Amino acid sequence: MSDVQSFAERIIKNIEQVIVGKRQTVELAVISLLCQGHLLIEDVPGVGKTMLARSLARSLGCTFSRIQFTPDMLPSDVTGVSIFNQVTREFEFRPGPIMAQIVLADEINRATPKTQAALLEAMEESQVTVDGVTHILPRPFMVLATQNPIEYEGTFPLPEAQVDRFLLRIRLGYPMRDDEISVLERQQYRHPFTELKQVVEVDELMQMQEAVKEVYVSPAVKRYIVDLTHQTREHPEVYLGASPRGSLALYRTGQARAAMHGRDYVLPDDIKALAVPTLAHRVILGPGARLRDLDARQVVDEILNSVPVPGGDPAAYEPAQGVKEEV
């Protein structure tokens, strides 16, 4: 898995030229990329949500498009539209911005539910249907969506079905004092994003995405993943817990994190590190949690502290000689 480790490190170091002091968050973004998943970046204005998405896109040798969502957008503004050609006397499909490999959906919660729903088929099926004709999206395909969690005027909260389509939800948070000083110094004359270069090729990206699937997950770690997911459904403060899609997301991201650390097997520590960004946005809390001023991240932390972690010799998590994980 040294190839995956080297591949990920190149992307992370490149992005860190722009996003300062947020290595853990950048790693999560690369994990989502390796798992062929979609990423929801949620945080207050001005901390670098859009810049993280743009920096990741520029680091890859992929086609890129940006959709700035507004309340007056129509679904056809996202997917594309069929236009009648007077010369050929036939309808021609004019692709929308969703027909790219890396799509930045900026301020996604400003779009109406009808327009948000236009993304569902694209994110889950990697295709769009316009006027009864299905158009396959290019590979690889990834949606990087941003939203502001504190501004509600003129916004439309994402429905649970669409939130569940995102593999991870991450937050950047405010930078540390020294990191913020570094940001000021780096942008004294120009923004470092203008000098950001592509560091990987599309073919290499797709090879790494396939390599991650070969990482071994022991039966004990699989049970640990399922136990965590089941506890989200049984927690007294939870109205609706994570679905089996949450278990699969935790499984896939665990494989990617292990590969990024140079291992061909997943440890319980990988799962613990990914539980909150993978499961918290899939959990819907009940009224009691709001009275206690709890959020989903705190509930997942409680579950992590209550579910026994598989123990024993670390060698127990390594694949036996000749064993190949099949997924």
231 to 195, 281, 305, 307: CA distances (angstroms) = 46, 15, 11, 8
Model confidence at 255, pLDDT cuts 50, 70, 90, reads very high
Mean pLDDT for all residues in the chain: 87
**Annotated domain spans of the chain:** 2-209, 213-311
Peptide bond preceding 236 in cis form (omega within 30 of 0): no
For the segment 249-258, the average pLDDT, to the nearest whole number, is: 95
Q: Note the pLDDT of residue 327.
A: 46
Q: What is the pTM of this model?
A: 0.88
Checking if the pLDDT of 153 tops 70, the result is no
The CATH fold assigned to 2-209 is Rossmann fold (3.40.50)
Checking if the pLDDT of 313 tops 70, the result is no
pLDDT in tens, 51-74: 888 898 889 888 889 899 888 888
Question: Rounded to an integer, what distance in angstroms lies between the CA atom of residue 166 and that of residue 116?
Answer: 13
User: Per CATH, is 213-311 categorized as 1.10.8.80?
Assistant: yes
For the segment 208-221, the average pLDDT, to the nearest whole number, is: 93
Q: With pLDDT > 90 as the criterion, what percentage of the chain qualifies? A: 41
Question: Rounded to an integer, what distance in angstroms lies between the CA atom of residue 183 and that of residue 173?
Answer: 14
Question: Rounded to an integer, what distance in angstroms lies between the CA atom of residue 246 and that of residue 230?
Answer: 10
Q: Note the pLDDT of residue 33.
A: 94
pLDDT in tens, 90-101: 888 888 899 989
Residue 117 vs residue 138, higher pLDDT: 138
